Structure 1
Amino acid sequence: MDAGTIKEFRKFKSIDKYNTGTNTYFLLPFRFHQVNNEKEVLVNEVGDFLIVPIGTSTRIANRQINDKEEIYADLIANFFISEKPIPDLIDILATRYRTKKSFLDEFTALHIFVVSLRCNHSCHYCQVSRVSENKQDFDISIADLKAGIEHMFRTPSSSITMEFQGGEPLLAFDKVKYGIQYANLLNEVHNKEITFVICTNATVFSDEILEFCAQHNVVISTSLDGPAFLHNANRPKTGTKSYEMVMQGIELAREKLGHDKISALMTTTTLSLDYPIEIIDNYIENGFSNIFLRPISPYGFALKNIKKNHYQTQRYLDFYKKGLDYIIQLNKNGHFMVEDYTTVVLKKILTPFPVSYVDLQSPAGMINNVVVFNYDGSVYATDESRMLAENQDFTFKLGHVQDSYHSLFYGEKAQYFSKFWSNETLAGCADCGFQAYCGADPVFHYASQGDLEGFRPTSDFCTKNMEIIRHIFDLIDREGNDIIKIFNSWINNTPQN
């Protein structure tokens, strides 16, 4: 190419060069992604979508859609194109965008208190450096617990969740009890709606603990990895079988608190990958109507046991799809069962409202939706970031609980993180067709790639979420209203009529 050719190539072209069609509509911002061999999905700024033949996005951009085509009215109505430079209903679109981002209005809602690192289990995927049951030096102090609770009430959010974690938090039940009582005392002035959650392995319940939980309407979250052979392998407990103990604990909690006051969470290890059906059946047999087919997280001490805890994302996706297909078939056969992660994504696809699931928020849920008060008084931007700290990486430490609220939540660290927490501004996310349904998750990318922004082409976060979202759209395209009815029943948590 000679200099003259280069000069001609760089010259600005006339407007006629871009008038490739005869239609005069205006383009509004939208993105697109291929769903299968025949269809692509168009997604606008607020997550509205149209599943259309492949090539439609090119025809729209080239202004080759005419007003006699059936799709023309759909494109106008769903803010993909406009017959004016600024649509008449632009204020409605703006209101809907504000609604999608309204989780920012109330700021931090979830406050996690790590009251102890003591634990009575030796789970090989544990992400923190648990200590033995008798080491009370690893319990949070009353002074730090009080300071954390006082920070919690400084949030502008009218609804807050106070979640107790460990270790095993019930080994420090005195701190849990004090925390709930002090929060209720302060709430006589602040009048917020409070949800109390205890994340426990359900093996140390006592009458005192459950009576207190019943009195204060506490929700219990426990771990159940599936059938006994799986659960006992993943979550060993010296001298006994963990599965039998957790099932006894679940039944006892249901008896004392009510069936709806206890939920379970599973973690997918390498061993789990071959048994999606057995895991789901175990949840059903034990009276659960929902399951979260959760992959293992790349944090902390969970990374030390590579053989048991590390697998390719594609293997997880095969596990997830097989499990999801089975759950869908259960619903078609009249048995109501929900896959939780799919439901989070569906709420973003099928409803106009925001979701509180931290990993799929943009701006990210770190600080904006969740904060962690650790047993030693350290304050972290997310639960995962305190796990990194257990390996002496304090990148996401915001400060100490005795510091001021402003320095913790609006300080230099928080301002620095804000450069990386909106997927609208990240390379590889800004033009992604699924941006409206996904998040940024700078903690994950820092942990897995050493970079808060992350490199999307090799990101396991992107590989997983893009394929899950694509798979959901493929199901919608193939099964239409039949699958939409099932999906809406999951969103509403109500069986189909």
Structure 2
Amino acid sequence: METTINTPRQTRKFKDPQYYKTISADYSLLPFRFHRMADSRELLVNELGDFILVPEGTAARIIQKEINAENPEDRSLFEDLVAGFFISEKRIPDLLEVMATRYRTRKSFLDHFTSLHIFVISLRCEHTCHYCQVSRVTSDKDTFDMSRYHIDAGIDMMMQSPNPHVTMEFQGGEALLAFESIVYAVERTKAASAKHNKQVTYVICTNLAPLTDEMLQYCKENNILISTSLDGPAFIHNKNRHKPNASSYDFAVEGIRRCREVLGEDNVSALTTTTNLSLEHPLEIVDEYVRLGFCNVFLRPINPYGFATRSDRKNKYETSRFLEYYKTALDRVIAHNLDGYFLREDYATIILRKMLTPFPVGYVDLQSPAGLINNVIVFNYDGAIYASDEARMLAEMQDYTFRLGQLGRSTYNEIFYGGQAQEISQAMTNESLPGCSECAFQPYCGADPVFNHATQEDIYGYRPTSAFCQRNMWIIEHLITLMTNDPRIEKIFRSWITGKS
């Protein structure tokens, strides 16, 4: 007869309870995550986003309670860990309320709910950009411009936001082709905001080609900001942003000059989109922004949505190629700063703000919970309401996963608290997403259900093959390496956060 021997069940996650009882605990662990850097150092990041770089193997020593405050070799590390909220000398830290306040501050972007309200005022456009993420049209104003009925309904919904400060952003197509609709919307919003005690910021996204002096004067009188596109020197910009029988670059540069002259330097901004052609010229792109007197450049990849996906040869590339481009361009930005010219890279600045300050960021892609619905909502030209601008672009591919309702038919509560919003919200918090919850970079990153759905057909996403994850992990580690290896670069990075050179 065989004898069965019962042995304790072994698991990957937990050791036998006796293992933990044998440890002599001189301190208590506070929540933190760790990551092995490429240079073999370990990065420790706590729940508040504070980080510390330590020798390899330190995380295991901390967890096994081997850091001895009485040991001269450990004393400095022990003090840093206590001061940085990685461990506590008491089971409940004396500064627990301070920790709670700092965590609430990091999440304070949720306090007032939706701020950015995007009105797709028209689909009409006179450019034929190959990376355009919407199916632009050139005619039929009545069909492809937002109706007054939908404008009114969008403004009424914007006024219901609990946020006292809202942004009304006009997009296209080319928004200036429907300038009379913009004027109508602004005038109606001015009256509504006075009634509802709202402070409204107005933004027009435009390629600047249709810009007239009358438009500029109206923008000045109403403090309207201008956001445009500049992809680099003429040979890149004209190729990326084609305008039949004309130089789109000349229109953009002249438009920027006129906007600065009338509206002021700080009231016009530019964005660059990275195509396959752009990847070959990172230095020229950065230098063009310097030549035109910009103090910032935003190095961003193409989003995999809408019309942009139809030109793989021009627009599709591996994430590794973008990261090599980004590294080279960032080095050039840093070099300009070392030479005395203040120039910040905006994506890095957003991440650095999350790393080096306790304050939240307003950038939708790097928020958790995600910024869609919480921070941004989109009213399409046809009255359809989407959870984000990327969600609207996805609808151009006949994918309406993130369509929330219809202006004039759906109520505020149905849009923001209905079943669709609740379902999306399940995948919006990276603290609880598989692969994110245990990642050291989680406090600096975000959640992007729309990107996950577009690239992996799953709103939760799969981190090992996620381009979003690969890109952000590499950039975050690269920024940490740069500033911890060179005090001059750390000083530059901090100046980007404060805006002071």
TM-score by length of 1: 0.97
AA at the equivalent of 2:142? Q
- Alpha-carbon distance in 2 for matches of 1:295, 1:24: 48
**Which of 283, 287, 292 is matched with 1:281 structurally?**
287
- Alpha-carbon distance in 2 for matches of 1:238, 1:333: 39
Q: Which residue does 2:33 correspond to in 1?
A: 31
Q: Secondary structure at the match of 2:79?
A: helix
Q: Report 1:41-80 matches (<5 A).
A: 41-68=43-70, 69=74, 70-80=76-86
AA at the equivalent of 1:331? N
Q: Does 1:112 align with 2:118?
A: yes
AA at the equivalent of 1:8? P
- Alpha-carbon distance in 1 for matches of 2:3, 2:31: 36
Q: Does 1:457 align with 2:464?
A: yes
Tell me if structure 2 keeps the 8 A contact 1:196–1:219: yes
**Which of 163, 183, 192 is matched with 1:157 structurally?**
163
Q: What's the offset of the Cα at 1:7?
A: 3.1
Tell me if structure 2 keeps the 8 A contact 1:133–1:171: no
Q: What's the CA shift string for 1:376-416, capped at 9, x where partnerless?
A: 00000000001111111111000001111111111111111
Q: How many residues align?
A: 493
Q: Report 1:243-392 matches (<5 A).
A: 243-392=249-398
AA at the equivalent of 2:361? V
AA at the equivalent of 1:256? V
Tell me if structure 2 keeps the 8 A contact 1:23–1:66: no
Cα distance 1:376–1:45, how it changes in 2: closer, same or farther (>3 A)?
same
Cα distance 1:5–1:301, how it changes in 2: closer, same or farther (>3 A)?
farther
Which deviates further from its counterpart, 241-250 or 392-401?
Answer: 241-250
Q: What's the CA shift string for 1:114-141, capped at 9, x where partnerless?
A: 0000001000000001001454310001
Which deviates further from its counterpart, 453-462 or 259-268?
Answer: 259-268
**Which of 225, 232, 242 is matched with 1:219 structurally?**
225
- Alpha-carbon distance in 2 for matches of 1:191, 1:488: 36
Q: Secondary structure at the match of 1:145?
A: helix
Q: Secondary structure at the match of 2:228?
A: strand
CA RMSD of aligned residues (A): 1.6
Q: What's the offset of the Cα at 1:16?
A: 4.0
- Alpha-carbon distance in 1 for matches of 2:291, 2:347: 21
- Alpha-carbon distance in 1 for matches of 2:446, 2:5: 43
- Alpha-carbon distance in 1 for matches of 2:312, 2:495: 38
Q: Which residue does 1:446 correspond to in 2?
A: 453
Q: Secondary structure at the match of 1:205?
A: coil
Q: Secondary structure at the match of 1:461?
A: helix
% identical aligned pairs: 54
Q: What's the offset of the Cα at 1:3?
A: 9.5
Q: Which residue does 1:468 correspond to in 2?
A: 475
| Unaligned runs of at least 5 residues, structure 2 | none
Cα distance 1:14–1:207, how it changes in 2: closer, same or farther (>3 A)?
closer
Q: Does 1:423 align with 2:430?
A: yes
Q: Which residue does 2:417 correspond to in 1?
A: 410
AA at the equivalent of 2:236? L
Tell me if structure 2 keeps the 8 A contact 1:120–1:133: no
- Alpha-carbon distance in 1 for matches of 2:304, 2:3: 52
Q: Secondary structure at the match of 2:111?
A: helix
AA at the equivalent of 1:49? F
Q: What's the offset of the Cα at 1:22?
A: 4.0
Q: Does 1:435 align with 2:437?
A: no
Q: Does 1:8 align with 2:15?
A: no
Q: Which residue does 1:487 correspond to in 2?
A: 493
TM-score by length of 2: 0.96
- Alpha-carbon distance in 2 for matches of 1:435, 1:257: 39
- Alpha-carbon distance in 2 for matches of 1:443, 1:13: 38
Tell me if structure 2 keeps the 8 A contact 1:35–1:471: no
Q: What's the offset of the Cα at 1:226?
A: 0.2
Q: What's the CA shift string for 1:127-171, capped at 9, x where partnerless?
A: 001001454310001011011011111111121111000000110
Q: Which residue does 1:193 correspond to in 2?
A: 199
Tell me if structure 2 keeps the 8 A contact 1:280–1:291: yes
**Which of 94, 99, 106 is matched with 1:100 structurally?**
106
- Alpha-carbon distance in 2 for matches of 1:376, 1:161: 20
Q: Secondary structure at the match of 2:204?
A: strand
Cα distance 1:6–1:310, how it changes in 2: closer, same or farther (>3 A)?
farther
AA at the equivalent of 2:82? I
AA at the equivalent of 1:491? I
- Alpha-carbon distance in 2 for matches of 1:156, 1:66: 51
Q: Does 1:138 align with 2:165?
A: no
- Alpha-carbon distance in 1 for matches of 2:158, 2:392: 18
Tell me if structure 1 keeps the 8 A contact 2:482–2:490: no
Q: What's the offset of the Cα at 1:338?
A: 0.6
Cα distance 1:310–1:4, how it changes in 2: closer, same or farther (>3 A)?
farther
Q: Which residue does 2:177 correspond to in 1?
A: 171
Q: Which residue does 2:212 correspond to in 1?
A: 206
| Unaligned runs of at least 5 residues, structure 1 | none
Q: What's the CA shift string for 1:217-265, capped at 9, x where partnerless?
A: 1100000000100001100011111111111111111122112211100
Cα distance 1:3–1:67, how it changes in 2: closer, same or farther (>3 A)?
farther
Tell me if structure 1 keeps the 8 A contact 2:116–2:375: yes
Q: Secondary structure at the match of 1:106?
A: coil
